[in-house]
Amino acid sequence: MSTHDSIPFLDLVTPHRELESELTRVFQQVLRTAGFIGGPMVEAFEKAFASFCDTKYSVAISSGTDALRFALMACGVQPGDVVVTVPHTFIATTEAISQARALPEFVDIDEQTYNMDPEKLREYLESQCAADESGKLISRRSGKAVTAIIPVHLYGQCADMDPILELADRYGLIVIEDACQAHGAEYFSRKNNRWMKAGSIGRAAAFSFYPGKNLGACGEAGAVTTNDAALAEKIKMLRDHGQAKKYYHDVEGYNGRLDALQAGILHAKLLHLAKWNAQRRERAAEYNRLFAAADAALVPPYEPSWSRAIYHLYVVRTEDREGMMAHLKKAGIGTGIHYPIPLHLQKAYSGMGYLPGDFPVCEKVAAQIVSLPMYPQLTLEQQKRVVEEIVRFNESLALAKPTSGESIELATAERTA
Ligand SMILES: Cc1ncc(COP(=O)(O)O)c(C=O)c1O
């Protein structure tokens, strides 16, 4: 057993202790006005979050899953349409598609960024779809019309949006960003020759404020961002029982509003988000340096020149993932796997007819990834101990089997460039 203090995978207590008086004030304000649902606190947060994302509008929603569902519906995705996404994401991405009564289909991810591979998307659109007599793009797999794409900005890093948008444009498809893990991540668009914020690149984007996110509520919360005024209005109706005016229901909607308390809490925390994201980037750079110096046998995260990631998660790849996690657990260090089973192989989707081997990159990555402790309050000493324990584990492995056969591609030096 280690004599050190344990290092949690995620520390949600420290930031809330630090902000206790600010957050308590929000709670008092809500109690004193009894404005629990909607109202000025929600509107103020929406304005501030839109400004943070460089968008004209943000619509606060009760969760990221509903934000994604409402965005799909408001953008005009119809029941029975196909929405293309990746199998390497949290199931909420595909749940939102199904709940909009559309059908998810997958394309594989890029082995370095773990996000949608635009080349695989191109192959899918060119060879697995065909235009019908009316010009609609039909998926050969399901016989249904393909109408939208959801690239996921996983772990806080944007997908390569330029080629995805270009393909979407060529095929007339809607692009909705799943930015649920990417509050403040930036993408350099070669086409626009400027850095763009996650959430401002597609037609609309969904964010989650689940407590563990870079911007987390003290409960469930989400938002849609967009530059389209009509779309923002439609989403406001969908979240509020289809009404623009009380008890006048233009459509059947949902109970998908955000509580004023959560909006107030998020607004208070939003003022710290840029600093927290910068601290996460520093922690990630520190891990990269420590792993490179230790010549550790693992693949660190890859950040292309067009990306400024905000490290919602710091994910490495290693050959003996289970062994490494067990070793770290014994040393009191928390880890996670995001995500162990690709969506196309989940029991919930067994009816879709996908098979092992259909998305080989995703399947390979899912078997090797480990998420290490990552949060703004993580200290250099804690990071050093995480790296030391990983090196110790690797040494014990090397002793146990001196000549291991095939090894994971560990181009550590070139990947941290
Ligand atoms: C990639 C991704 N999409 C969607 C969601 C759904 O967000 P929520 O949990 O707020 O419904 C999450 C959150 O966990 C997520 O990580």
For 186-205, how does the pLDDT look when each residue is reduced to its tens digit (9 = 90+)? 999 999 999 999 999 999 99
At 1 the pLDDT is 43
Alpha-helix residue ranges (DSSP H) falling in 295-332: 321-330
Nearest atom within ligand 1 for CA of residue 209:
10
Q: Classify the phi-psi angles of 7: left when phi > 0, otherwise alpha if psi is within -120 to 50, otherwise beta.
A: beta
Residue-wise pLDDT for 18-70, tens only, equals: 999 999 999 999 999 999 999 999 999 999 999 999 999 999 999 999 999 99
- Across the range 147-154, mean pLDDT stands at 98
Q: Which of 116, 180, 258, 337 to mutate to test the pocket of ligand 1 (most atoms within 8 A of CB)?
A: 180
Residue-wise pLDDT for 331-351, tens only, equals: 999 999 999 999 999 999 999
At 361 the pLDDT is 98
Q: What is the DSSP string of 159-227?
A: --HHHHHHHHHHHT-EEEEE-TT-TT-EEEETTTTEEEETTSSSSEEEEE--TTSSS--SS--EEEEES
Q: pLDDT-derived band of residue 98, with 50, 70 and 90 as boundaries?
A: very high
The least confident of 179-183, 202-206, 273-277, 395-399 is 395-399
pLDDT at 296 over 90: no
Those residues whose C-beta lies under 8 Å from the C-beta of residue 217, and which sit 6 or more positions away, are 209, 210, 211, 262, 265, 266
Q: Which of 61, 208, 312 to mutate to test the pocket of ligand 1 (most atoms within 8 A of CB)?
A: 208
Nearest atom within ligand 1 for CA of residue 89:
1
3-state secondary structure of 84: strand
Query: Which residue has the CA at smallest separation from atom 8 of ligand 1?
Result: 64
CA distance 293 to 234: 52
CA distance 130 to 330: 53
pLDDT at 254 over 80: yes
Q: pLDDT-derived band of residue 412, with 50, 70 and 90 as boundaries?
A: very low
User: Tokens 């948008």, residue?
Assistant: 165
At 397 the pLDDT is 85
| Tokens standing for residue 145 | 């019309």
- Across the range 253-258, mean pLDDT stands at 97
pLDDT at 413 over 80: no
CA of 92 to the centre of ligand 1 (A): 6
CA of 353 to the centre of ligand 1 (A): 25
pLDDT at 409 over 60: no
Selection from 49, 91, 44, 97 nearest residue 70 by Cα: 97
- Across the range 123-127, mean pLDDT stands at 98
Q: pLDDT-derived band of residue 399, with 50, 70 and 90 as boundaries?
A: confident
Contact 172, 162 (CB under 8 A): no
Q: Is the CB of 155 under 6 A from ligand 1?
A: no
At 398 the pLDDT is 82
Indicate the average pLDDT of the chain: 95
Residue 399 CB neighbour total at 10 angstroms = 8
Share of the chain above pLDDT 90, in %: 92
CA 196-157-278 angle, to 5 degrees, is 80
**How far separated are the first and last CA of the chain, in Å rounded?**
36
Selection from 51, 24, 94 nearest residue 339 by Cα: 94
Query: Which residue has the CA at smallest separation from atom 10 of ligand 1?
Result: 64
- Across the range 116-131, mean pLDDT stands at 98
Contact 361, 354 (CB under 8 A): no
